[in-house]
Chains A and B, each alone.
Chain A
């Protein structure tokens, strides 16, 4: 075919075909899971190059419109200036709307239903405003998101946050699909099919080659300032990951046939390029990444120590920077966080959210929860936490919980905790299934016991009709109460069977760690119990010196943030502490007295609703795998913990529970 275009037309074409497309990149890289640095580099590039694309496109289009003869230096200069205007303007628009959004979200406490609406609308508004002003819209919305995230996340409720997240994902997914579908459909339009072999081939070759060159040069420049250098492999991925997508196509479709005579050629070339990069490069990037052994995202358990040391490092480095009189990254970062703390937070964040928990505390809390959950899971698995009150418990006890039962719904508590689902709800059916092996009388007994203590069939939220609120039914609260109560009892009984009296140590520790902070009105996991201050001189574990938590009975259920789901609070009630025998008496060492323990716990004799561990529990304590967080540190020989006792040599634990021939 013939080409009728001049330099300017080609420049125009170049400007739109060179841009990497964020949609395509995101879609592909999500599959591949490369390490974060690489991902951010490519994805960030695709986002930010929108400004460049828009500017160049507009500039060249106007040049083409006014004709090549009229392009003067002034015009070029105007073009360059407009680049800065567009990009910075877009950013500012984004930041402005971020500010607006955070401010609005601060006051939405009583209209929680429409919180997600605000988020969507105001961010979209930033996009539209930027478009209207001919600024870079993608930059606007990107920066809006970046800047507002912290404040909005702190301000809006858990449910709104989830709503926003899932709706966004859904819409994004839908939009991507539609875009590519549209791309495909328009490719089948014969009117635009113009083929010029040389042009197309050369385009394909050049975009790859020049991209590689560009990447290499820029990496070389960047590496002089980077701590972690970008290696060849990274560069390969970066060049290979430059996928063109819908933006290019949209821009080319907007071209005016009058002004650009080879429009159809451009369109078909663009389509071919897009298809090629997305299909070929997109499909092969995953094997390529694997073959090159690119570092993938490491998913590691957050370790408390790491966080702590990381924090220590940050401070040390800032200090060194201060001392040596440099302005370094840490200095700037500190300055920013000071500014943020002093001004921005006060304006943009809700009062209750301002007292945010430290990151370290969050990690700590999470780890504790995980430990607690694992502990309960382990206990359940061994059947030791199955609380059944019955005189003929033989069969019950011997239910083998260790093999997974074929029920689809796990009715174990630990499963619930893991899921962090909404209010506790369990399917009675599943529970029944699980107990199939037990005789009918025991069945009903178990049913009643369980129902009494914990399990309620799932209920619909009785929505009192209100357009602005979601009312949670009262049962939710009750469920939670029952749950907590039961959990408490289970743990108490568990520990008390083992060693009788004074064994709150591990629970203390659980408890102590669960309470991150002693605030009552917070929207994080609250714990209404404030331990009394028991000063510990040094950490030798004498019984007395352990920090007791004298918990009060008032669990603030009102402050339970309903969005948080099941919160595991191992609260220790005071009633369980009998007076410690005088002196430092570690029950472990009074192994001879274990008979006495059992007299206290004859289940058929006890009149109250004690929750009693099954026979199995007494024989075999749950093996607690290496959880160190729940065990106190033993820095002296004086005491051992019931917990560790379980881990220890089995005979030790058995030795003092040998005569459990009750029942």
Chain B
């Protein structure tokens, strides 16, 4: 039996991941899921190196986030199948040489949207200060010498920076609710994200970390 049913293949090919890579990812998926058809959150615990990652929680969460799985609905899925797994992975595919402007733009938006969803944990479409603080605290939690206070001030500072970029000079009565996706895009305007957010599958037969 082939690794995939016929139906998902066509949609997957549109994701522009090569079939070798699909093979490899499938093998990995099977490992993680222990030969089941779906993965749950607990399965991610079996990856030892992930423990050291400070924002592990958010990343794992992102895998199950329905907004990332391109479903119109909201909320969290309990388990994901291989197709969903691939969908998430496809956010990280490298840029192809033959993409045109519009595709590039769409590409970029998708990646940024993924990031945005990660930050916006309550799914309301805005990153509020509390959420941002949360993220920053987690990010900096890896460094044992950094206290929570400092993390919080950094988050505040960053938020203000964002406010100044997005809204400019605020009048005395204005209130900045939170970072919306448009603001988020604005923040990232000058910076190229394409090179930052992709995982290169160097050789697909790399020493996979099989445990």
Binding site for B on A (CB under 8 A): 225, 227-228, 300, 303-306, 308-313, 315-331, 334, 338, 355-358, 360-361, 364, 367-368, 512-513, 515-518, 531, 538-539, 626-629, 631-637, 640, 644-645, 647-649, 652
Contacts and interface: CB of A to CB of B under 8 A. Distances in A.
B163 A644 contact: no
Given A634-B174, A635-B177, A647-B169, A305 B162 contact: yes
Given A518-B147, A647-B169, A326 B206 contact: yes
B52 A360 contact: no
Given A628-B163, A637-B175, A320 B199 contact: yes
Contact of A305 (B94, B153, B158, B175): B158
Given A305-B162, A628-B163, A635-B175, A225 B197 contact: no
Contact of A645 (B54, B157, B172): B172
13 contacts: A304-B157, A305-B187, A308-B139, A313-B115, A317-B199, A322-B209, A325-B206, A328-B199, A360-B154, A635-B177, A636-B175, A649-B172, A652-B172
B145 interface: yes
Interface string B164-186: 11001111111111000000000
B29 to A, nearest CB: 9
B50 A358 contact: no
B18 interface: no
Contacts of A629: 157, 160-161
A324 B89 contact: yes
A327 B206 contact: yes
Contact of A303 (B118, B143, B161): B161
A633 B153 contact: no
A635 B159 CA distance: 11
Given A305-B158, A512-B153, A635-B176, A319 B202 contact: no
Given A317-B198, A632-B156, 19 more contacts: A227-B198, A304-B157, A316-B59, A317-B199, A318-B49, A319-B53, A319-B56, A325-B31, A325-B210, A328-B200, A358-B140, A360-B154, A361-B146, A367-B157, A517-B147, A538-B130, A629-B161, A644-B170, A648-B171
Nearest to B59: A319
B19 interface: no
Contacts of A635: 129, 175-177
B150 interface: yes
Contacts of B59: 315-316, 319-320
B62 to A, nearest CB: 8
Contacts of B147: 517-518
A517 B55 CA distance: 22
B69 interface: no
Given A516-B150, A633-B160, A326 B199 contact: yes
A327 B129 contact: no
B175 to A, nearest CB: 5
Given A312-B135, A626-B168, A320 B160 contact: no
B139 to A, nearest CB: 6
Nearest to A321: B199
Contacts of A518: 147, 149
